[in-house]
Amino acid sequence: MEFEKYIRDIPDFPEKGIVFKDITTLLINSEVFSKVIDKMAESYKKKKIDKVVGIESRGFIFGGMLSYILGAGFVPARKAGKLPHKTIRESYSLEYGESIIELHEDSIKKGDKILLVDDLLATGGTAEAVVKLITRLGGEISGIEFLIELDFLNGREKLDGKKIHSLIHY
């Protein structure tokens, strides 16, 4: 299935010169959306995954479903100040300035097998920060699933050595 034909291009969003990849046109189509999730889950069904980590906020949509299918717990990686209990945090660079991402420090145990998921791999800064957090807590990353990868931004290089899979490449 050609998943990319269900993605809508939005020129000049969120700012001039950027073509935003709108995934809502894919999510709304239940048949296509189910196939996306099944594809993401495919290579993990025979492995033991303890936790699926989803990155706020579109990663929650995919992460919740994958945790259900794989019989794993769900762990949200959230922006600074959103998680209410004790957290660990990493900062990462954005085009202008930087941002912070957090995990609850009791969300992952040493040796937990982790599947990390987000909608988009762009420069890889966010995913790299979350990989660091998972690793600091002793989690072992079994793989990273993205719906979309913007190949020309080379985000994959920041996640060197990890098993990365994206369903759509630009």
User: Is the Cα dihedral 148, 153, 158, 163 positive or negative?
Assistant: positive
Per CB under 8 A, 137 contacts its own copies: no
- Beta-carbon count within 10 A of 141 CB: 20
Binder of its own copies out of 3, 43, 64, 88 (CB under 8 A): 64
For the record, the structure tokens of 25 come out as: 């046109």
Please work out the total of residues on this chain that contact its own copies, with binding judged by CB under 8 A.
40
Per CB under 8 A, 73 contacts its own copies: yes
Element containing residue 99 per DSSP (H, E): strand 98-104
Per CB under 8 A, 105 contacts its own copies: no
Q: Is 89 a catalytic residue?
A: no
Per CB under 8 A, 58 contacts its own copies: yes
Per CB under 8 A, 146 contacts its own copies: no
**Minimum distance from CB of 79 to its own copies (Å)?**
9
The amino acid that residue 145 corresponds to is E
Mode of pairing for the β-strands spanning 19-22 and 8-11: antiparallel
Binder of its own copies out of 2, 15, 46, 84 (CB under 8 A): 84
Beta carbon nearer to its own copies, 81 or 138: 81
Q: Is 58 a catalytic residue?
A: yes
How far, in Å, CA of 159 to CA of 163, rounded?
Answer: 9
For the record, the structure tokens of 115 come out as: 């599947």
Instruction: Tell me the C-alpha to C-alpha distance, in Å, between residue 123 and each of 94, 114, 158.
Output: 9, 21, 8
Q: Which residues carry out catalysis?
A: 58, 95
Q: What are the residues binding its own copies (CB under 8 A)?
A: 8, 10, 13-14, 20, 22, 24, 27-30, 33-34, 37, 51, 54, 56-58, 60-65, 67-69, 71-76, 81, 83-85, 104, 107
